[in-house]
Every structure is written in C-alpha cells, then in structure tokens.
Amino acid sequence: MDIETAQKKVQELHDLLNQYSYDYHVLDKPSVPDAEYDARLQELVKLEEQFPELRTSDSPTQRVGGEILEGFQKVEHNTPMLSLANAFSEQDLRDFDRRVRQVIGEDFQYVFELKIDGLAVSLRYEEGLFVRGATRGDGTIGEDITENLRTIHTIPLRLKKRYSMEVRGEAFMPKRSFERLNEQKLEREEEPFANPRNAAAGSLRQLDPKIAAKRNLDIFVYGIGEIGDTGVKKQSEGLDLLDRLGFKTNRERKKCENIDEVINLLHEMQDKRQSLPYEIDGLVLKVDSLEQQEQLGYTAKSPRWAIAYKFPAEEVMTKLLDIELNVGRTGVVTPTAILEPVRVAGTTVKRASLHNEDLIREKDIKIGDYVVVKKAGDIIPEVVNVLVDQRTGEETDFHMPEECPECRSELVRIEGEVALRCINPKCPAQIREGLIHFVSRNAMNIDGLGERVIAQLFQEGLITDVADLYELTREQLIALERMGEKSVENLLNAIQQSKQNSLEKLLFGIGIRYVGSKAAKTLAQNFETMDRLMNASKEEVVAISEIGEKMADSVVTYFEQAEVITLIEELKSHGVNMEYKGPKLQAAEESDSVFAGKTIVLTGKLEQLSRNEAKERIEALGGKVTGSVSKSTDLVIAGEAAGSKLSKAEELNIEVWDEARLIEELG
Ligand code: IVH
C-alpha cells in the first residue's frame, strides 16, 4: 500500500472508530458489536505499525496509555478554575435567588445541573486537537494529567470543529466500575478505595497511563473556560455546543423559570440519587445568560451567578472508644475522639476532633458513649451529639491533662483562649507539625512530602527544622521505608523547585502566629523582600491597611528571635528565594502610567500576550483588571473575537483598545 492510500484509510478508520466510540460511550447506544470495533482498531494498529508517521496523537489507538511518566508538570490555567459557594438548605437557595434578582431583576432563567462527585479537570483544545488536560490544583496552577485523561473514551481527542478552547468538567468513576475495582483490590489483598471520588483521583494521579486506562473513568463536561468565538450566549447553549462537539454532558440538566421550580426538581433528584449510575453530592444552579452572569460578577473565590446545593450530611451512630490528645503546630493540644470505625458518606470514619474541653463539657461527651457522627461540609468528621439514653453507667469523664502529651512540659491556658497550649518551642510534636505545614500546598507546596514521610524523616533525625529539608540527599531518602528510586527523584526535584517560590509562600510556611496565607501575601506585596520585612518596625507593619495590631506584634516579635534569624540565613544559603514575585503594588495616584488607578477589562483572544501576562503587567503599572464590564470600567482591551463584553463597552461608551495599543502603552 502506498502512503497516500494508507493515509486515506487511516482517516476513514479514525472517523469510523470515533463514531463507534461516541455511540458506545457517550450515547450509551452501541451501533456495532464489540468485535467489529476491535477488528477495525486492529486494522488501524497494523497500519500505524507499517506507517508510523501516520500515528497521530488523536488516533483512537492512543487511548490505551503511553509511556510511564516521571512526574506531573505544573500548568497554569488560562482562566482560573473557581469553585462554587455552597448552599446547605432550601433557605440558602432562596437567599441566593434573592441576591440574583436584586442585581439582574426578574427576567432570567436558571440552568439546573447535577453536582457530579469526582474531580474537576480542564481540557485544552488547539484548533480542535486535544493538547492538554489538567487538574484544578489551587485554581490557578494545576497538574498536567493529559496522558491519563487521553485514556477516557468520552474525552474527544479531536473536536468536530477546529475550535481553540478550554473545556471544564468533572472526571469520575461510575459506581459499577468502582465496585469492580475494589473487588479486585480486595482479591489482591490491597487497600480498597474509600469512595468513587478517591478512586477517580487516585487513578488520574497514576504515573503509568496504562493503569489509568484500565480504570474505566468517565467525564461529564459542564462548562467552557473561555467562550472565544463560539457565539455562545448562554450556559445552556454552551452545553448544547459541547454536545455537538462530541463531548459527554449530563442529560439531567433542566432550565428553570424560578426558584420554586428549582426546589421541586431538587426533591425529585434527591429521590433519584441512589438509582443514578454515578455519585452526585448535590446540585448546581447557574444563571443561564452569560451577559447576566457578567453583570453578577465574582467574589474572590467564586461566581455570584452560581451556587452548589449540597445534600444534607448523612448522620450515623457509633461508639466513642477513647479520647486522644494531639499537639498542633502552634502547641494547641486538641482532644480527638477515637471512634468505632463507621461508614459515613462514602468513607470510613475512625476519628473526629473534639476541639477543646469546653466543647466536650457542652456536649456532655464521656468515653464509652454512643454518639451521632456526621461529616461537616461532607469532609470533616464531627460528633453531633451524645445518645444519653444509651448510657450504661460504665462511661467515664474526660479531663484535659496538665502536661503536654509529647514533651511533658506544663500546659498553659492563654488569656482569652479556650485552648490549652504547650509553649515549649522545642516540643517535637510542634516541630513535626510545623514541618508538615511548611511543605503543604498553600505554603511551599512540596509534592511527595506527606505526613508519613515527614514523620519518618523526623523520627530518623534527618530533619529538625525546615532548612534541613534542603540538605536531604538521595541516599538518605532511598533508605526510608516505601521510597523507590522514582519517588526519591521526584521528591528531590520538588524540593529544588520550591526554592523558586515567591516570598509569600515562605512567609506562610514558616508559620508566624496569626499570619494566614492571605496576610502572608499582603506582607510580601508590601515589603517585597524578606530583609525589608525582617527589619520593619511595628509601626511600618501596622501601617498596612489589612494588617491589625495583633498580627503586626506577632510578626515583629517573630523576627526578633535569634533562632528565626539563623533559620532565615540558612534558608538563604540553600538558595531559597526571599523575594516577592507576584504583581507589584503601586500607589495608583503616584504612578504616572496611563493604567494607574484605572479599572480595566480584558476580553477576546490576545495574540502576543497571555491573559495572565497582560494582567500582571497592567497591575504592575497600577491598573486593576476585573472580569466584567460595568459603569465603573475605564478601559476595555479587546482581542480577537471579543464578544458580549465588547458590545457592552460600546453600549456604555467605554474606551476600547486593541492588543497593539495595549502593547504600545505597556512599553
Ligand atoms: S460549575 C465557576 N457545574 O463542583 C463554576 N461544577 O465548587 C465552576 N462540579 O470542583 C463549577 N458538577 O468540579 C460546576 N455541573 C457542575 C458541576 C461542578 C460538579 C464540581 C466542580 C467544582 C465543584 C464546585
């Protein structure tokens, strides 16, 4: 066969196999027997062996999983992946509805969707070709899991139109696949997954895509990251477009005219929940019109045009076997209930924090009691109340100890606090917890250093403070239990990479009392370098509007400690970055840039700058970039195929620039 004929044949086979696969996986209506699909696929495999140059990344043969990866690359999302605000009752939904009506009036519709219980992913298409898939991560930066996502049959590798777009959806494991997988795991004497969501997440985090390919994952897509030139004006139209492009969207969606209709549907879905072949943990309500969505806008974390209704938490009864004490990073000693293991909302619960002694008294909790347990926000186990009727008289009272359970130094109750604290700065428990905090996601974000590894390293005396992390060697790590070559290499890379973090991550990570991740960012933005912050007086710190008296005190006292100064010096000598790398603050009025003090909206596709780059550079010059056009917008930058935001700007007579003008003004 010559190459032209082969090419034509390959194309035919792609089309045919894609159609079979779509009928089978998306429509759930197989159009041919499995044997026919397999035969055609084999035909394609043979042709690709004969003409390897015809094997493309969108070939149906590429779904079986390719090479084993070394690790996952971090990727920045073109538009942030936000999460949704939660509603826990019908009243919360009615309150949401009232807020919506206050802004956009009565003339609108909702789209009602199921809240699929899996994990959020973003799928990037260039000219119709699937080029990259990522996890949500922290919303701005996720992980590249393209090779694993490629194995999901309901993700088209090529769209039916040559769009460049980012599609968002929920990857999940169907209930049946989950059960089958756990049966296999039990047969192999492996730990089963706690629930389908963990199973899906675990599968997509496999470095070997061949394993992911065997896990029968699926996806429902629910939105478009950037609408671009698709002409879509409503969420419902977006979903219809996604259908036409070959994606799998959820069929249970409905348009609703008002909140009563929504609440009726909610009751219907609650009854139907068990019979669905996949897990849902609630419902999502979205304002249909994209223009009205823009009018409603966003809070820092989530859109104001949508809300997630979470089903009420399941409550179960179990026995409280004991109360254990845990010492946290700040020395607070927390009593924790040890429970007779019980299944709640998909996972087995064995422990629940009891917070402090006052709460134990208030709920009248005794060791040996039968208690009601639920998961708050469906994640954190909580003791709701005690079943006093079930008492036998054998139950015993609990009292907080006077000494730290780890280092035996005397516990103190700080005025105005309910908690008891160990104030020994050398307390091993505090140090260990501090290390765990340092590597966590919002701090230095070192992957591969979970609690278990930190505890091991600490136990072995390999790390006593955070600076020691940067001295770890391959030999030391490989000697640890359950650490293979690959994980050691990945871990060392992750440690190395963390040296480049912007200052706020370090500031949050070192654990200055009262300094959360937001305050750390504010401090980093204002002082820009560690040295400047360390040398700042209390007056200078408190002068920052978001920083209060108590925090300023804590910051200044922290940096006065000799051990802290030594620690920072050590981190510096290991090459840990001590500078703020994010967008600079500038007193708007003082800056003489044209952007200073202006509220600017970016819309459409920019050719030369990425969205983020443009945003950062504008902000560096004192401008503020927002998501939606309103009367307070000063300037709109319109790229290719700008849509409704541009029309709105024109309507409101707002100045509009093209990308060339933007670049010129940015200098
Ligand atoms: S919309 C900005 N729709 O629920 C809007 N989310 O916090 C982004 N989810 O992690 C989300 N089903 O992955 C949307 N039909 C649906 C969804 C859905 C599940 C997940 C989503 C996110 C979380 C919301």
Options 8, 115, 248, 366, the catalytic residue:
115
Average pLDDT over residues 616-630: 84
User: From the CA of 116, how far away is ligand 1's center (Å)?
Assistant: 8
| Percent of the chain residues past pLDDT 70, beyond the cut | 99
Give domain status of residue 69, yes or no.
no
Rg over CA atoms, the chain: 28
Let me know whether 328 and 389 are in one domain: yes
Q: What is the pLDDT of residues 368-387, one digit of tens each?
A: 999 999 987 667 899 999 99
Let me know whether 58 and 182 are in one domain: no
Query: How many Cβ atoms sit within 10 Å of the Cβ of residue 509?
Result: 26
Output the pLDDT for position 570: 96
If one counts the domains in the chain, the total is: 6
Sign of CA dihedral 458, 463, 464, 469: negative
Average pLDDT over residues 349-365: 93
Longest dimension (CA), the chain: 88
Q: What is the CATH number of the domain that holds 362?
A: 2.40.50.140
Return the best residue to mutate from 79, 88, 116, 167 for the ligand 1 pocket (most ligand atoms within 8 A of CB). Answer: 116
Two tokens, residue 496: 């190395």
Q: What is the pLDDT of residues 132-173, one digit of tens each?
A: 999 998 888 899 999 999 999 999 999 999 999 999 999 999
Give domain status of residue 421, yes or no.
no
Average pLDDT over residues 161-188: 91
Q: Please list the residues that pair with 600 across neighbouring strands.
A: 625, 635
**Ligand 1 pocket member 284 (CB < 6 A):** yes
User: From the CA of 258, how far away is ligand 1's center (Å)?
Assistant: 21
Give domain status of residue 295, yes or no.
yes
Let me know whether 92 and 191 are in one domain: yes
Q: What is the CATH number of the domain that holds 594?
A: 3.40.50.10190
Two tokens, residue 302: 């989530």
**Ligand 1 pocket member 83 (CB < 6 A):** yes
**Ligand 1 pocket member 313 (CB < 6 A):** no
Average pLDDT over residues 296-311: 91
What does residue 635 show for φ and ψ, rounded to 5 degrees? Answer: -155, 140
242 pLDDT above the threshold of 50 = yes
Let me know whether 513 and 490 are in one domain: no
Residue with tokens 């007193």: 587
Q: What is the pLDDT of residues 108-125, one digit of tens each?
A: 999 999 999 999 999 999
Average pLDDT over residues 637-660: 86
Output the pLDDT for position 215: 93
Helix count and strand count (H, E) for the chain: 24, 22
Give domain status of residue 420, yes or no.
no
Residues 206, 120: contact at Cβ < 8 Å?
Answer: no
Average pLDDT over residues 184-194: 81
Residue nearest to atom 4 of ligand 1 (CA): 115
Q: What is the pLDDT of residues 516-551, one digit of tens each?
A: 988 999 999 999 999 999 999 999 999 887 899 999
Average pLDDT over residues 575-589: 80
Q: What is the CATH number of the domain that holds 565?
A: 1.10.150.20
Q: CB under 8 Å to 606, separation ≥6 — which residues?
A: 614, 637, 639, 640, 659
Let me know whether 568 and 600 are in one domain: no
Residues 413, 419: contact at Cβ < 8 Å?
Answer: yes
Output the pLDDT for position 403: 95
Residue nearest to atom 23 of ligand 1 (CA): 83
45-80 burial by CB neighbour count: b if 16+ within 10 A, else e?
bebbeebeebeeebbbbbbebeeebebbebbebbeb
Output the pLDDT for position 275: 87
Residue 185's pLDDT band (cuts 50, 70, 90): confident
589 pLDDT above the threshold of 60 = no
Ligand 1: nearest atom to the Cα of 115: 12
Let me know whether 167 and 276 are in one domain: yes
What does residue 376 show for φ and ψ, rounded to 5 degrees? Answer: -70, 135
Output the pLDDT for position 194: 76
User: From the CA of 83, how far away is ligand 1's center (Å)?
Assistant: 6
Two tokens, residue 521: 């960012």
Least Cα distance to 26 among 244, 240, 247, 223 occurs for 247
Q: What is the pLDDT of residues 306-342, one digit of tens each?
A: 999 998 877 899 999 999 999 999 999 999 999 999 9
503 pLDDT above the threshold of 70 = yes
Q: Quick check: helix, strand or coil at residue 600?
A: strand
Task: Tell me which amino acid residue 159 is.
Answer: L
Please say which residue of 267, 289, 309 terminates a domain. 309
Give domain status of residue 197, yes or no.
yes
Two tokens, residue 332: 């607070």
Average pLDDT over residues 461-479: 94
Let me know whether 98 and 239 are in one domain: yes
Least Cα distance to 172 among 250, 116, 246 occurs for 116
607 pLDDT above the threshold of 90 = no
Two tokens, residue 72: 């996952």
Instruction: Residue 235: give the domain boundaries.
Output: 86-309
Let me know whether 228 and 372 are in one domain: no
100's torsion region: left (phi>0), alpha (psi -120 to 50) or beta?
A: alpha
H or E, element range at 336: strand 332-344
Output the pLDDT for position 378: 62
Residue 495's pLDDT band (cuts 50, 70, 90): very high
Least Cα distance to 132 among 141, 123, 143, 119 occurs for 123
Two tokens, residue 77: 């999302």
Output the pLDDT for position 78: 85
Query: Angle at which helices 562-573 and 549-560 pack, to 10 degrees?
Result: 70
440's torsion region: left (phi>0), alpha (psi -120 to 50) or beta?
A: beta
Task: Tell me which amino acid residue 108 is.
Answer: F
Residue 588's pLDDT band (cuts 50, 70, 90): very low
**Lowest mean pLDDT segment, chosen from 23-27, 183-187, 366-370, 383-387:** 183-187
Q: Quick check: helix, strand or coil at residue 140?
A: coil
DSSP string, 365-376: --BT-EEEEEEE
Let me know whether 149 and 297 are in one domain: yes
Q: How many residues does the chain have?
A: 667
H or E, element range at 90: helix 90-104
Let me know whether 539 and 488 are in one domain: no
301 pLDDT above the threshold of 90 = no
Let me know whether 491 and 551 are in one domain: no
Residues 3, 52: contact at Cβ < 8 Å?
Answer: no
Report the alpha-carbon distance of residue 111 to residue 606 in Å, rounded: 30
Q: CB under 8 Å to 95, separation ≥6 — which residues?
A: 87
Burial class (CB in 10 A: 0-12, 13-18, 19+), 561: exposed
**Ligand 1 pocket member 632 (CB < 6 A):** no
Residue with tokens 């996949």: 278
Two tokens, residue 68: 């084993």
Least Cα distance to 219 among 270, 168, 295 occurs for 168
For residues 663 and 370, which has the higher predicted lDDT (pLDDT)? 370
Q: What is the CATH number of the domain that holds 144?
A: 3.30.470.30
Give domain status of residue 45, yes or no.
yes
Residues 651, 630: contact at Cβ < 8 Å?
Answer: no
Cα dist from 54 to 13, 37, 46, whole Å:
12, 20, 11
Give domain status of residue 94, yes or no.
yes
Residue with tokens 């950037």: 226
Residues 445, 505: contact at Cβ < 8 Å?
Answer: yes
Q: How far apart are the first and last CA of the chain?
A: 57
Q: What is the pLDDT of residues 390-429, one digit of tens each?
A: 999 999 999 999 999 999 999 998 878 888 999 998 999 9
Give domain status of residue 237, yes or no.
yes
Q: What is the CATH number of the domain that holds 21?
A: 1.10.287.610
Please say which residue of 477, 498, 519 terminates a domain. 498
Q: Quick check: helix, strand or coil at residue 120?
A: strand
**Ligand 1 pocket member 412 (CB < 6 A):** no
Helix, strand and coil in the chain, % to nearest 5: 40, 20, 40
Q: What is the pTM of this model?
A: 0.60
Average pLDDT over residues 642-648: 83
Query: How many Cβ atoms sit within 10 Å of the Cβ of residue 629?
Result: 24
Question: Is 248 in the active site?
Answer: no
Sign of CA dihedral 360, 366, 372, 374: positive
Output the pLDDT for position 608: 83
Let me know whether 278 and 168 are in one domain: yes
Two tokens, residue 233: 């004006």
Average pLDDT over residues 1-17: 94
Report the alpha-carbon distance of residue 185 to residue 194 in Å, rounded: 12
Please say which residue of 442, 475, 498 terminates a domain. 498
